[in-house]
Amino acid sequence: MDLLIRESAEIIRESKFVMAFTGAGISVESGIPPFRGEHGLWNKYNPEVLDLGFYFENHEECWFYIREIFYDFFADAKPNKAHKVLARMEKEGLLKSLVTQNIDNLHQQAGSKIVHEFHGNSKRLKCLLCGKLFSSKEFDFKKIPPRCDEDGEILKPDFIFFGEGIPRDAYENSFADAEKADVCIIVGSTGEVTPASFVPRTAKQSGAVIIEINPEETMFTGPVTDIHLKGKASEVLSKLEKELF
């Protein structure tokens, strides 16, 4: 493992464009449960509450669960060591781009500046009538559903629901960076969710070295990954940090 960490650090140092691709696994250590898997939220909740069509017809019911999942459970989650190492890598010029499937805003809280949010951000709310954006901090979620102060329309969290398209800028920027990357570091993503999982695959097809940080093997491990650093995100990235700086 130590040898692979050293090898990875050397590859990163010698590269011109390193990108990171992160999934739910990086935020689990901050207390945010994943949606899928043994302890996933979909074992407790019906995914229908985040289906766009169902939401439009059942605002009140959906907001009851949205509040519980996104604004009660992990509203106070803080960035962990893994988020902080990636932010430091960017600050030191070693990481040029970060694509995340997560909607928890923890990369930005850790200090990352160039973040392409593939699935949006739960800390923003959007009026679908006038397009106005709000910070979730502006609302008292004891009173739901939250409404737009311009037109009274019920607000929707600014992350992607089932049946909704990926934000255009995030989509285009993610794939543009994947095409020019010479290294892509996958952290905490299993590769099950498309089209997000095509980002590291595009980097691979464009000639990038794929470094995967995950405790178990994933859908990336065989066909995509070049170096698998097996372990928790914060532990592996802490070791990598010591080699890099």
The pair phi, psi for residue 135, each rounded to 5°, is -85, 145
Distance (Å, rounded) from C-alpha 172 to C-alpha 226? 25
Cβ neighbours for 61, distance < 8 A, ≥ 6 positions apart: 49
Token pair belonging to 28: 């689990």
Q: Would you name the residues annotated as active-site residues?
A: 119
> CA-CA distance, 21 to 52, in Å (whole number)?
26
Alpha-carbon Rg for the chain, nearest whole angstrom, is 18
What is the spatial distance between Cα 193 and Cα 189, in angstroms, rounded to a whole number?
9
